[in-house]
Structure 1
Amino acid sequence: MSEAEIKSGDFTDPWRLCTVTQVEELKILIRMFPIWATGIVFFAVQAQMSTIFVEQGMLMDRKIGSFNIPPASMTSIDVISVIFWVPIYDMIIVPVARKFTGRERGFSDLQRMGIGLFISMLSMTAAALLEIKRLQLVKELGLVDDAGAVPLSIFWQIPQYMLIGTAEIFTAIGQIEFFYEQSPDSMRSLCSALGLLTTSLGDYLSSFILSTVTYFTTTGGKTGWIPDNLNMGHLDYLFWLLAGLSFFNLLIYTVSAMRYKEKKTP
């Protein structure tokens, strides 16, 4: 308290004088920020499921008899993956992990989120490998200028969708629990909203990455990685870029998680 405040008796300005509790709550938010920021890249990767994955599926064999599978419907695999893994996680993975970690939930929230970030990197790797195979067929069949689909079943996309769904079980749910438990008691609603904010920021980051890649890969009249005719492009390069970004994000997350000081609970 300054002499002026003592003389005037005015202690109402929170920017000049606040309680110890308010200071500690701000410290908690600052410690949580690096963990929160790494979630943005995760959701940028997840955004590919409803954008680039669909574009990739449009140039694959979508026929089952006389029926054509809509490429966008493949996103339902993500939902199926979540439904499949939730009971397995609760009934098998958690009890096994509990024996090794001694934790009631098997993993800490930070460990759970880290596993999900690693799996999301694998989903981009799977997508890149599939695109490499698809482009090989494009060259072999002479479809580079044709913009036609290749005789490669769209069901080969299932692994990348399944991996993203699995990553959600770990990172998305772990993030919700982390923000709720580690946030100050008076700010739990706000911190839960910050967790949801990473989803929208991830979409913006995805758009920024696509715009940046398009700009730099089309300079000088080049075709670029993502042309209108994807048979002439290199979606695999984009997937490798996202996998590399996910790996770098995982390293930052690991360092931040190791240095994170959990909130003291009474």
Structure 2
Amino acid sequence: MSSFFNWLLLGVAAGGSISLTFFVWVQDNKGFDWGFALSMIAMFLCAIIAIFGLPWYRIYVVLGSSAITEIIQVYVAAIRNRNLQLPEDPSELHEIPMDKENALHQEFLPHRDVYRFTFCYYDTLAQLQTFSVQQGVTMDIKLTNSFNMPPASLPIIPIGFLLILVPVYDQIFVPLVRKFTGVPTGITYLQRVGVGLILSALSMAIAGIMEVKRKNVAKQHNMFDAIPVAQPLPISVFWLSFQYFVFGIADLFTYVGLLEFFYSQAPKSIKSISYCFLWSSMAIGYFMSSVTVKLVNEATKGVTKSKGWLAGNNINRNHLENFYWLLAILSMINFTIYLFVASNYKYRPESLDVKDEYDAQQRSSMSPSMEYI
């Protein structure tokens, strides 16, 4: 399962690399109509491939109501029964079918005294896809004497790293670490997410440092107030690759770690829809990104000459570096909360892989707090 999600991420990265290079080049040089037409053709070809591949796909259908219905029923039951006392025997919470043979094929999740809610968001990713592009517009984007890298293609940097890192992680890192931890996936799902959260904070700290360097170059060449940009700063856009590289590794850990976690811990009837939990957290992250920018501008408009750290038209006069460092601090606070929650989480005992991971954790000599980093 772990390898499946790793290669799924590789497929997503491969598709993104085509979009951010070839499609962007077509839009810049041929027009947006050509770009949309190519996107339509790509989706049409994907549909054809999916249709022709259906005969070779083995579908495992869990009989019963839809996953959406079951999720809604959980909320309704929780509200209606909120004042009831839990029975001493957790098995009494399940409605066992009269037909014992059918009961053997059903999955009953044991009640566990763990946290009832938690979420994480991709706020930092949203910044790399917005403000970093604005930084790139002011920098030297030449790849060769005859070819310039479109600023809209900057996100290809972390995706390019993923194309290299995913096979290395899956084929080299996991088998190597597995020998020491005894965990089938190398490290546990929660550990993988924890590593990604730390790296996302580090990427924001590096982004702040790179922004200071970019602004210093603008000052040294008397281009600090050059708006609109008549010519790029004499600093390569690839200085931004440092922050993208670290976040690319963070995405490798967090993205797949969350997919594995949601899929392994969800009941059989909603395993397929468990993917939505990841996309929901990403959607919340992008929404929170807009809220964060608005709040930062409101809080800092009184201490700057502009309408806030990020509100001015001149990116050199803004305080983007402070915003990046603020995100680094918030990311570390988020990780601290995550560490507290993850260290008290109990894996489902029904999963063989998860049981092996749990046993490996018990055998490990690491402290409980370090085990989930």
One-letter amino acid of the counterpart of residue 230, structure 1: I
2:94 corresponds in structure 1 to 21
2:105 corresponds in structure 1 to none
Taking the aligned partners of 2:110 and 2:134, their CA distance within structure 1 comes to: 44
1:168 corresponds in structure 2 to 251
Correspondences of 1:52-201 after superposition (within 5 Å): 52-63=131-142, 64-147=144-227, 148=229, 149-201=232-284
Taking the aligned partners of 1:69 and 1:206, their CA distance within structure 2 comes to: 26
Does the alignment pair 1:244 with 2:362? no
One-letter amino acid of the counterpart of residue 116, structure 1: G
Q: Would you tell me which structure has more helix in proportion to its own residues?
A: 1
Taking the aligned partners of 2:94 and 2:170, their CA distance within structure 1 comes to: 36
Taking the aligned partners of 2:116 and 2:187, their CA distance within structure 1 comes to: 18
1:6 corresponds in structure 2 to none
| Secondary structure of the structure 1 residue equivalent to 2:154 | helix
One-letter amino acid of the counterpart of residue 210, structure 1: V
The answer (yes or no) to whether the contact 1:121–1:246 under 8 Å persists in 2 is: yes
Q: Quick one: higher RCO (CA 8 Å, sep 6+), 1 or 2?
A: 1
Q: Which runs of 4+ in 1 moved over 4 A?
A: 16-19, 24-30
Does the alignment pair 1:235 with 2:320? yes
Q: What is the percent sequence identity of the aligned residues?
A: 37
Unmatched runs of 5 consecutive residues or more in structure 2:
1-75, 87-91, 96-107, 352-373
**TM-score (norm: length of structure 2):** 0.61
1:225 corresponds in structure 2 to 309
Identify which range, 180-189 or 88-97, moves more after superposition: 180-189
The answer (yes or no) to whether the contact 2:162–2:252 under 8 Å persists in 1 is: yes
Equivalent of 2:291 in 169, 189, 208: 208
Residues 91, 220 of structure 1: alpha-carbon distance in 2 compared, 3 angstrom cutoff: closer
| Secondary structure of the structure 1 residue equivalent to 2:139 | coil
Give the CA deviation at 1:28.
6.3
Taking the aligned partners of 2:319 and 2:275, their CA distance within structure 1 comes to: 38
Taking the aligned partners of 2:181 and 2:154, their CA distance within structure 1 comes to: 36
Identify which range, 58-67 or 242-251, moves more after superposition: 58-67
Unmatched runs of 5 consecutive residues or more in structure 1:
1-12
Task: State the superposition RMSD in angstroms.
Answer: 2.5
